Amino acid sequence: MASSSCSIDLSGPTYCIVSGASQGIGRAIAAEVAKLLGPKSLMLLLARKADELAKTASMCQSDNVKAIYKSIDLGKASTKEMNDVIVNSLEGYKVTDFATCLIFHNVGSLGNLAIETARIEDSNELAQYYDLNVFKVISLNTQFLKIFEAVEDRIIIVNITSLCAIKPMSGMAYYCSGKAAREMYFKVLAEEKKHIKVLNYSPGPVETSMIDYVLTEAVNDNLRDVFTSFKNQGVLLKPDMTARKCMKVLQAGKFTPGEHVDYFDDE
């Protein structure tokens, strides 16, 4: 990890969005960040499964934190719907009420693992994948930036990326190319907006439904072997372990603009 910058204090009133907060890493990030937020903080949790979002919200809710959630398909939502979701969550608040405005772009999917890379040709399927994992992430981020423009220097953006954004993995062309594009967008944004803190956090291999999806869907032998051995050797991280590390990296603030920081990187 690159050298120092100042630490990040989340103990003031904070507005915080977590996308993909209904399970897995997103739920764990929401629960961990909620513990750090100061009085009068507001969290907005997004995903499709409302009942699971409600459970995450109850994990986050406290004397300091009001946690609300909205069921939304982030692969299909229009720009206006995304804008409305954020604006509606702020009813009764002004953006200046918050000392920190934080967003975790955690939503993600693996794409079609049942096709060899050399056989990919369905551009509609690819476009759908890129909608959820890249294009709509950018749209949501832009709505966030617009709404909090008056307090832009209070914005912190965390993109949940992957080792696959910087290292090719056989059998995961959708995922690797999508993660690379998404990470690069946040790096470019960080170059342009030096006063906004932008972190690309790579959570390591984590025991979530994504791992089961690889094991059932992957046609690439190498990919299945890698994940089977992760599982059999018990090396998969628990979601709360990586969420705690993410908070540690964030709070230490030692990352350069848009830096890719992995769970296993030295501090």
Ligand X SMILES: NC(=O)c1ccc[n+]([C@@H]2O[C@H](COP(=O)([O-])OP(=O)(O)OC[C@H]3O[C@@H](n4cnc5c(N)ncnc54)[C@H](OP(=O)(O)O)[C@@H]3O)[C@@H](O)[C@H]2O)c1
Q: How far is the CB of 28 from ligand X (least distance, A)?
A: 8
Computed on alpha carbons and rounded to an integer, the radius of gyration of the chain in Å comes to: 18
Q: How far is the CB of 119 from ligand X (least distance, A)?
A: 23
Of 65 and 206, nearer to ligand X (C-beta) is 206
Of 132 and 199, nearer to ligand X (C-beta) is 132
The first and second tokens of residue 200, run together, are: 């690309």
Q: How far is the CB of 101 from ligand X (least distance, A)?
A: 21
Q: Which long-range contacts (CB under 8 A, 24 or more apart) does 246-252 make?
A: 246/29, 246/32, 246/158, 246/201, 246/203, 247/32, 247/33, 247/36, 249/1, 249/199, 249/201, 250/8, 250/10, 250/156, 250/158, 250/199, 250/201, 251/7, 251/8, 251/9, 251/10, 251/36, 252/7, 252/8
Of 239 and 257, nearer to ligand X (C-beta) is 239
Compute the distance between CA of residue 94 and CA of residue 97 in angstroms, rounded to an integer: 5
Q: How far is the CB of 1 from ligand X (least distance, A)?
A: 18
Q: How far is the CB of 92 from ligand X (least distance, A)?
A: 25
How far the first Cα of the chain sits from its last, in Å, is 6
C-alpha distances out from residue 11 to 34, 64, 65, Å: 10, 10, 11
Compute the distance between CA of residue 24 and CA of residue 240 in angstroms, rounded to an integer: 9
Residues that bind ligand X (CB under 6 A): 20-26, 47-49, 52, 73-75, 106-109, 132, 160, 162, 203, 205-206, 208-211
Q: How far is the CB of 91 from ligand X (least distance, A)?
A: 22
Of 21 and 103, nearer to ligand X (C-beta) is 21
Of 95 and 236, nearer to ligand X (C-beta) is 236
Of 26 and 258, nearer to ligand X (C-beta) is 26
